[in-house]
Amino acid sequence: MEQIKIISQALLEIEKQLYDRKLTPDSLAKQFYTNVSDLQKTFQIITGMTIGEYIRNRRLSNAGISLKTKNLSILETALNMGYETPEAFSKAFKRFHGVSPKDVRNQSTSQIINYFGPMHIKFSIESSAPLLAITEYYPTMYFVGKTISVSNDKSVYLKDIENFWHQETMKGTLSQLEKKYAATSFVGISLAGDTDRFTYGVGIVTTDQVEEMNEFEVVKFPPRNWVKFEVNGMTDEDFSQTRNRVLSEWLLTSDQSISLLPEIEYYPITEAAAPEIWFPNLE
């Protein structure tokens, strides 16, 4: 519930600071005392876009309205919207509206400009199949595998992650780990990264102590409770639907709090077990 409240408040804060050049994902994360990667991930799950995309769309939408209704030059409008040059503004404006700011300013086109209004979170609970979740304690746990840095943009990272799984499978990474650790599952992990990126890894997790090694990367997770949600399928869409339900349903009714990062995607090797998503319990 706390994560949803933060996104709801962040949307309101974006409107207050929309034309402030200091408005960034980092500044919002500091304002709400949260991790920027966690904020970015929650925001994208709820809104379908990154914080940067949302701010840009709101500014460009308002820029179109300003050019049609106010006696402002293109330069003034560009500066008001946080762009440093009219050239950069014109390119972004045309990508968003399909027409140039000059055409809109001079009323030389009859095309309707695109409107992108502010978003608000509407809380609702609908009856559906129960979201199965269990909380399980693990002592110190180690991820062993390979990692890459990927963009927060969903249209980019889904393909990059798919290619990464294929690459490491073809290189024999997963089969090597399966033999070395007698693994019964493979995992994909998401870890905090920079403002516009996060770290993704493929490999295995084990509670056996693991030392640093040259051939694989090792990530150590401290002892904690993990909330594990069963996923009805193995596809990206199946996992995405479960993430959305965790935010839109489970967090609204549960008395537990979770962090969305790190996240563990659990892929069992045998068909006897179901795939899962694991999130750290903050209690």
The per-residue pLDDT for range 52-83, each reduced to its tens digit, is 999 999 999 999 998 888 888 899 999 988 88
Q: Are residues 188 and 67 in the same domain?
A: no
Residues of the chain with pLDDT below 50 are none
114 is a domain residue: no
Start-to-end CA distance of the chain, whole Å, equals: 13
Residues 231, 148 share a domain: yes
Q: Is 165 within 8 Å of 200 (Cβ atoms)?
A: no
Domain presence at residue 116: no
CATH of residue 180's domain is 3.20.80.10
Q: Does 146 map to a domain? A: yes
In a domain, residue 117? The reply is no
Task: Give the per-residue pLDDT at 248.
Answer: 77
Specify burial of residue 131 (Cβ count, 10 A radius: 0-12, 13-18, 19+): middle
Which residue range is the domain that position 18 belongs to?
2-105
22 and 139 assigned to the same domain? no
Residue 46 lies in a domain: yes
Sheet containing strand 263-268, strands side by side: 133-138, 224-230, 276-280, 263-268, 185-191, 197-206, 141-151, 217-221
273 and 144 share a domain? yes
Give yes or no: residues 50 and 162 share one domain: no
Per-residue pLDDT at 109: 54
The pLDDT of residue 108 is 60
Write down the pTM of the prediction.
0.74
Q: Are residues 214 and 78 in the same domain?
A: no
Question: In this predicted structure, what is the pLDDT of residue 10?
Answer: 95
| Structural domains in the chain (count) | 2
Could you tell me the CATH number of the domain that includes residue 44? 1.10.10.60
217 part of a folded domain: yes
What residues contact residue 196 under an 8 Å CB cut-off, 6+ apart? 25, 40, 50, 52, 151, 152, 153
Residues 191 and 62 in one domain: no
Shared domain check, 266 and 140: yes
CA distance 183 to 121: 41
Tell me how far apart the alpha carbons of residues 259 and 94 are, in angstroms, rounded to a whole number. Answer: 38
Q: What is the pLDDT of residue 48?
A: 85
Residues 100 and 154 in one domain: no
